[in-house]
Amino acid sequence: VDYDVYIGAVKEHYNNVVTYVGEYIGAATSSAGNSGEVYWEEPFYDEETVSRLVETLNTPLFPESDVNKTSTQQCFKDNLKLYRDTLKEKIDEPQVAGLVRASSAAGGGSDNPVAATILSLVRNEDLEEMIASVMEVERAFNSKFAYPYTFLNDAEFTQEFQDAIRAALPAGRKVQFGTIAPEDWSVPESIDLERFKASMQHLEDEGVAYATRESYHNMCRYFSRGFYHHPLLREYKYTWRLEPGVKFFCEVDYDVFRFMADQGKVYGYVLNLYDNLQSVESLWRDTREWLEDHTQYLSEGGAFDWVRENMQKPENFATTGGYSTCHFWTNFEIASLDWLRSEPYEAYMDFLESMGGFYYERWGDAPVRSLALALFADRSQIHWFRDIGYSHFPYINCPNSDRCDKRCSPAEFVPWDNLEVENCQATWIRYAMTQEERDLY
């Protein structure tokens, strides 16, 4: 792309943006009006605790002298086996008392609903794939529980889009359509556009997907730090993120939001992957430096071993300066908005924003969210929904359960063998999963 053309496009973008402003009530910087539970209180760590936590984070899980081609291959083999054995176990639904069912009253709904919404960020042109996803999640879960939908977009939703979504859903179902405040979806003024352009080109040359798509950078930034302040989400405590073109293979007969709330979970995921290391090359180094002055945010029960794992893909760990790049794949996520709106997460987001890595690199919302969770949450607050059969191309979570249809086969992860190594779930199972979580199914 010619530089002048690029700058012209950016300027035009800003011009367009200005004409929008007044229409918006809130932006990422304003958290007024949230009355969430308090998810964080400053701990009373003594110096010894602080240095133990910091030292753990700064130490590779395996001594570097033990990491070589043979040990790495053996680790991958063992991990693949653990993954497959785990997913081949016959399961049903979480074995906890008090799962909440759908009401038998006319119109259904949860017997004890939570303030929660299914959330999609989507473009008008992705209507067809969006409807397909809505039908999937309705069939598997939401036709019984009748949770509302919220659709967000950086542009206005067309009437056609809104009508088609409404027509796909039962009458009376609450559906909201919202636009994103321009300041939450544009390159911030603090970003040096020349450096941004050069970085995009550099990442593109390295083969990083979407590196030169400005909108993709905006999207990653929005899902990291913006969305949970959208005015339409203010009334909610949880969101279930739904992308166009995904599939749900298994029936879910309990209220998953109620499960999250009752079990004290702040985050639910299904897929756990290694990342493209070039997209986050500086993320961990920056984070680690910031943490030195913010040790009060570290959780003693954090998933540190998952962050510092260095055996299955040691090159990722080496390139990032100490981060495995393991992350929850955020295209499916059930997230506590109160947790995202809590001080540690917000402070971390402000810091990341100040570093510019959403633009100078291509920091994804997945590694960003995952690091925050691993560092600030207790690992018991994070739940692997093993029972939610799910696919977002090309990866699959497929349990062995009578509740699942035959579109996936148990323990299947990806159609191509050479991508099996991208699976980080075994590391989670081995090093981060609590006994209670293991015994849940």
Which residue, 246 or 303, is less far from ligand GDP as judged by CB? 246
Structure tokens at 172: 């009376």
Write down the least CB distance from residue 154 to ligand GDP, Å. 5
Spell out the SS3 assignment of 226-251. Answer: HHHHCHHHCCCCEEEECCCCCEECEC
Query: Which parts of 21-89 fold into alpha helices (H)?
Result: 47-57, 69-88
CA atoms of 18 and 138, how far apart (whole Å): 38
Q: How far is the CB of 243 from Mn ion (least distance, A)?
A: 5
Active site residue 189: no
Q: Which stretch binds Mn ion (CB under 5 A): 51-59, 154-162, 237-245, 321-329?
A: 237-245
CB 18 within 8 A of CB 186: no
CB closer to ligand GDP, 275 vs 309: 275
Distance CA 220, CA 185 (A): 10
Closest approach, Cβ 220 to ligand GDP, in A, equals: 9
> Which of 73, 74, 95, 215 touches ligand GDP (CB under 6 A)?
215
Q: Which of 138, 309, 333, 346 is catalytic?
A: 333
Whose structure tokens read 């653990």? 82
Q: What is the CA radius of gyration of the chain?
A: 22
CA gap 19, 159 in Å, rounded: 21
Stretch that binds ligand GDP, among 66-74, 117-125, 307-315, 368-376 (CB under 6 A): 117-125
Q: By CB under 6 A, is residue 154 in contact with ligand GDP?
A: yes
Q: Is 121 helix (H, G, I), strand (E, B) or coil?
A: strand
Q: Which two tokens stand for residue 432?
A: 């981060």
Min dist. Cβ of residue 411 to Mn ion (A)? 23
Nearest distance from residue 188's CB to ligand GDP, in Å? 17
Position 331 contacts ligand GDP (CB under 6 A): yes
Q: Residue 336, interface with ligand GDP (CB under 6 A)?
A: no
Of 61, 121, 266, 311, the residue at the interface with ligand GDP (CB under 6 A) is 121
Query: Distances from the Cα of 2 to the Cαs of 6, 9, 196, in angstroms?
Result: 6, 11, 14
Cβ proximity to ligand GDP: between 121 and 134 the closer is: 121
Which one of 153, 325, 397, 427 is in contact with ligand GDP (CB under 6 A)?
A: 153
Residue with nearest beta carbon to ligand GDP: 215
Q: Which stretch binds Mn ion (CB under 5 A): 152-160, 162-170, 326-334, 411-419?
A: 326-334
Query: Residues 61, 134, 208, 219: which binds ligand GDP (CB under 6 A)?
Result: 219
Please choose, from the candidates 158, 166, 157, the residue with its C-alpha nearest in 3D space to the C-alpha of residue 131. Answer: 166
Give whichever of 57 and 121 is closer to ligand GDP, judged by the CB atom. Answer: 121
Q: Give the rounded distance of the alpha carbon of 246 from its chain centre.
A: 15
φ, ψ at 119 (rounded to 5°): -125, 130
Q: Cβ closer to Mn ion: 182 or 367?
A: 367
Angstrom CA distances, 208 to 212, 275, 276, 298, 314, stand at 9, 11, 7, 31, 19
- Based on the shown chain and the rule CB under 6 A, indicate whether residue 243 belongs to the binding site for ligand GDP: yes
Q: Does residue 266 bind ligand GDP (CB under 6 A)?
A: no
Letter string b/e over residues 48-73, b meaning 16 or more CB atoms within 10 A of that residue's CB:
eeeeebeeebeebbbeeeebeeeebe
Out of 204, 243, 378, 412, point to the residue binding Mn ion (CB under 5 A).
Answer: 243
Hey, what long-range contacts does 18-25 have (CB within 8 A, 24 or more apart)? Answer: 18/182, 20/182, 21/182, 23/179, 24/179, 24/181, 24/182, 24/231, 25/231
Q: Is 126 in the site for ligand GDP (CB under 6 A)?
A: yes
Q: What is the per-residue binding string for ligand GDP in 160-199, x denoting contact by CB under 6 A?
A: ----------------------------------------
Indicate the residue among 243 and 378 with the shorter CB distance to ligand GDP: 243
Residue 258 to residue 115: CA distance in whole angstroms = 9
398 binds ligand GDP (CB under 6 A): no
Q: Which is nearer to ligand GDP, 99 or 175 (CB)?
A: 175
CB atoms within 10 A of CB 20: 18
Size of site (CB under 5 A) for Mn ion: 2
Catalytic positions are: 333
Give contact residues for ligand GDP (rule: CB under 6 A): 121-123, 126, 153-154, 215, 219, 243-244, 331
